[in-house]
Chains A and B, each alone.
Chain A
Amino acid sequence: MAEKNERGTNSGIIIERLRQKFGTEVLEMFAQAKDPTLHIAVRTLSNVYFDEKKNMIMLGNKTQKRTFFDLKDARKFMQTLIVANGCKNLIESGKTTSIRDLFYNTKHTIGDTKENTFDEQEESDPIIEDIEVSANALREELHLRAQSKGSMVGDLTIQDAGDTIDLRKMGSGGWAVPSIVEPDIVQFKECGAKFILFIEKDAVWSRFNEDKFWKKHNCIIIHGGGQPPRGVRRMLRRLHDELKLPTYVLVDNDPWGFYIYSVVRQGSINLAYESVRMAVPDARFIGLSSFDQERYKLPNEVTIKLDDGDKKRVKEILAYPWFQRKEWREELEHMVKKGVKLELEALSAKKLTFITDTYLPEKIERKEWLA
């Protein structure tokens, strides 16, 4: 029952939305011999737009029909209803679970056939996103957790599910950022940090942690293990909003790294409907810049040639409407012109701690960032 739910106050509303949209309405369509159809928001490039005022990627209002009596849709239609029902049960039980759990929970053989409701988790994951948008519910509100990756340490104390955690005493591994970091779970307490540093990679983050960068410079360091998961993105947004701290983003100098910066700052295509809660529109790009090789006289040996995939990606990115800022384009165009990319580790060619001793502090002091 909805009342059992200890977390959100929203539970009852979400269950009602799921019941209405995927239960009652669909049954009605069957009963009245209308084509049972679900309208699902399109979550591709064709249905996102860049809101210049908010500086965010937003979801448009294009929807696609998912009709039961259509061979190519029938299976997905069934899967959508199964997942909706699964979510409803989950909310009622008051438990949260991983999306992988939900996949196993809803996966079974259909009747006396040899077909499964789901074969791969890749089939159920996008459907969960469909339901989030359709029911206007956050993933957390559906009681679902994404795989958590990403760690955080810094001059901050937090409370997580009732436990007080001092992020200054997290050893070498840091505090694992959970998938759900909503205020009812995570609250911020004493904070001495002056800024937030988001680092693309785990390994580089470890360098910063080992060198106690956050202690020397009074900051919070956080990584998302590559493209950051929802939890990390939501955490960045909350840190920025609630602690009123500037956010710096440190990524590899390649199109993928730069795109991570853009996602942190203004959101992604697939989760455009989440930009409002996750994007940090004034996040600052601190490095690596395409101009850093010249600026820091890095030897040629540490560069890597751009491959075809990299070049193709640059072209793609430059075509996005939210990549029209002059400074951004210069970064990418210069990268192509040089024909090489740089990993964060390239700075170690100077000295192992160059990145923490010199590079970052200098950049911040000289305000050498893009926004």
Chain B
Amino acid sequence: MAEYREIAISEFFEKNKHLLGFDNPTKALLTMIKEAVDNSLDACEEASILPEINVSIQNPDGANFTISVEDNGPGIAKMHTARVLAKLLVGSKFKSLGEAGMQSRGQQGIGISACILYAQLTTGRATYIESKTKGEKMYSCHLQLDTSRNEPIITDEKLFESPKPHGLKVILDMKGVYRKVKGVDDFLKYTAIANPHARITFIDPEGTKTIYERVAKELPKKPKPVMAHPHGIELGTLIKMLGRSPSRTVFSFLMNDFSRIGAQSAKEICQTAGLDVQTRPNAINRDQAEKLLASMQAAKIQRPPTDCLSPIGEEELLKGLQKTYKAEFVAACSRPVEVYRAIPFQVEVGLAYGKELLPPDQLAELIRYTNKVPLFYQQSECAIYKAVVKTPWKRYGVPQSNGNLPMAPMVITVHVASVWVPFISEGKQAIASYPDIIKEIRLAIGEVGRKLQRHLSSEKKKYAQERRLKVFEKYGDEVATAISGLTGKPKAEVSEIVLKEIQRRRG
């Protein structure tokens, strides 16, 4: 007979670290920064603070890295600090498909605690925390995880005065590999593009300081929490929701726990499912739940509300691209909110084009974002990549070989915002290819593509015009010499007439 035992959280971590983004030392370092920065941005936005984030990586002894991420967010109250930061799977963001939720960067509440654990496992050192909430004293401590009990271990707690109004600072030591390309540098650069309202400072292991200045003075629109839409729910989730619902009847359960269901729809859904409206939610069995789900999905219900999303915005996207790239042309498109499987999502595409952006004969650079967070791995499996390579770029005046990214000095950013982004795996690095999502991406690319095409053809015209005049100027002097010879008029006089006419045509 099998023996059941509870596995230690560290063992779970060890076995699942690929799911959490720690599968190799390079990725681990990036994940650390990514989790910390994502958390900071989310916290600032929730508290309506324009984010100011300082990141530094030090590498004093070659093997271990000291990572520091500091923000000007609201901080975490002393009593919550340890629990929020150092306990796995605790967080405000943990949810599953179809449940009520809100667009946020992190989605699984695993973030910073996994980092603390990884630091502890690779260096044996505790993570240093500094947290200050408004009007309180600065609180600092060292945090570790008790891996057998999944409980935080707090040491060196201190309270002291600080001139800083509020914010959180995390310093941890870890083993990792620092890589410039497609590593921390690119992550911060890309993050700055999608978050032009943030100011990000980065000091790399060599001591080089990079500042991504804030170019948007306003915070993005805050996403609103949204109830699940009846068309986008799965049976397991429904059963779980039925069991947990505080509602006393299935009728009120439908109205309270879902969006877009009114009294009329609730009654009809119950009728079709053969359920009494007064049935207690937790009394519904599996078969009944299945009927209820079928009935919910058959019912005619309004599309989910769209104010639950917080896009980057066209203006901000343009600003983000302009501050990052020396582009001769930028364009952006924010599509209206759409739904896939009753889940709202929104696509935004930005494009920067310029001869100085990339060396010639190189494929365009594609930056993928979900909820304003850049994605780094599994590009070719991602719906975004598929939509971009399927776009007929030649139509927009850009060469492209079949099944490849276009060949042009340009950067394409594609952002998919959603309450629940359908990643193909827990690694959260590629979006599943839902036709509705691909279609929206294609439409957005089409819009910026057409603008690019107009730009390129006007550039071409300008170039052709310039070249024409050069040709005429080149021959003009010879023509003047010949006319002067033929007519006997002084060369200077003839030249003036000829060149004047050439200049006049320059317009």
Binds B, one of A76-84, A155-163, A238-246: A76-84
Q: Name the residue on B nearest A115 (C-beta).
A: B474
Q: Could you say which of B475, B477, B486 contacts A22, with CB atoms under 8 Å apart?
A: B486
Interface majority SS (helix, strand, loop, mixed), chain A: helix
**Contact present for A74 and B497 (CB under 8 Å):** no
> Which chain A positions have C-beta within 8 A of B505?
69
Q: Within the complex, what minimum Cβ distance (angstroms) separates B352 from chain A?
A: 33
Decide yes or no: A30 and B471 within 8 Å by CB, A110-B478, A111-B477 being known contacts.
no
Bound CA–CA A26/B471 (angstroms): 18
Interface residues of A in 205-244 (CB under 8 A from B): none
> Which chain A positions have C-beta within 8 A of B468?
71
Decide yes or no: A84 and B497 within 8 Å by CB, A23-B487, A69-B505, A74-B472 being known contacts.
no
Bound CA–CA A222/B475 (angstroms): 45
Give A89-121 as 1s and 0s: 1 = Cβ < 8 Å from B's Cβ atoms: 100000000000000000000110101010000
Q: Could you say which of A23, A77, A84, A89 contacts B475, with CB atoms under 8 Å apart?
A: A77
Q: Within the complex, what minimum Cβ distance (angstroms) separates B498 from chain A?
A: 5
> Which chain B positions have C-beta within 8 A of A85?
481-483, 485-486
Bound CA–CA A221/B483 (angstroms): 46
Q: Does A33 touch B at the CB level, under 8 Å?
A: yes
**Contact present for B483 and A23 (CB under 8 Å):** yes
Bound CA–CA A24/B482 (angstroms): 11
**Contact present for B471 and A74 (CB under 8 Å):** yes
Bound CA–CA A69/B489 (angstroms): 22
Q: Name the residue on B nearest A76 (C-beta).
A: B475
Bound CA–CA A69/B472 (angstroms): 7
> Which chain A positions have C-beta within 8 A of B504?
33
Q: Does B501 touch A at the CB level, under 8 Å?
A: yes
Give B378-414 as 1s and 0s: 1 = Cβ < 8 Å from A's Cβ atoms: 0000000000000000000000000000000000000
Interface centre among A19, A33, A74, A78 (most CB of B within 10 A): A78
Q: Does A168 touch B at the CB level, under 8 Å?
A: no
Q: Does B114 touch A at the CB level, under 8 Å?
A: no
Q: Does B479 touch A at the CB level, under 8 Å?
A: yes
Q: Could you say which of B474, B481, B485, B497 contacts A30, with CB atoms under 8 Å apart?
A: B497
Size bin of chain B's contact surface: 20 to 34
Q: Does A265 touch B at the CB level, under 8 Å?
A: no
> Which chain A positions have C-beta within 8 A of B416?
none
Bound CA–CA A248/B474 (angstroms): 53
**Contact present for A110 and B487 (CB under 8 Å):** no
Interface residues of B in 461-506 (CB under 8 A from A): 468, 471-472, 474-475, 477-479, 481-483, 485-489, 494, 497-498, 501, 504-505
Q: Name the residue on B nearest A15 (C-beta).
A: B486
**Contact present for B478 and A68 (CB under 8 Å):** no
Bound CA–CA A22/B474 (angstroms): 19
Q: Within the complex, what minimum Cβ distance (angstroms) separates B434 from chain A?
A: 51
Q: Name the residue on A nearest B493 (C-beta).
A: A27
**Contact present for A88 and B486 (CB under 8 Å):** yes
Q: Does A311 touch B at the CB level, under 8 Å?
A: no
Q: Does A319 touch B at the CB level, under 8 Å?
A: no
Bound CA–CA A89/B489 (angstroms): 15
**Contact present for A31 and B497 (CB under 8 Å):** yes
**Contact present for A71 and B471 (CB under 8 Å):** yes
**Contact present for B487 and A113 (CB under 8 Å):** no
Nearest 4 CB-CB pairs, A to B?
Answer: A23-B486, A81-B482, A23-B487, A85-B485
13 A-B pairs, CB-CB below 8 angstroms? A18-B486, A23-B486, A27-B498, A31-B501, A36-B501, A68-B475, A74-B475, A77-B475, A82-B481, A82-B482, A89-B485, A110-B475, A117-B478
Chain A residues with CB under 8 Å of chain B are 18-19, 22-24, 26-27, 30-31, 33, 36, 68-69, 71, 74-75, 77-78, 81-82, 84-85, 88-89, 110-111, 113, 115, 117
Known: A18-B486, A30-B498, A115-B474. 17 other contacts (CB 8 A): A19-B486, A23-B485, A23-B487, A27-B487, A27-B498, A31-B501, A69-B472, A74-B472, A75-B475, A81-B479, A81-B482, A82-B481, A84-B482, A85-B481, A85-B485, A88-B486, A110-B478
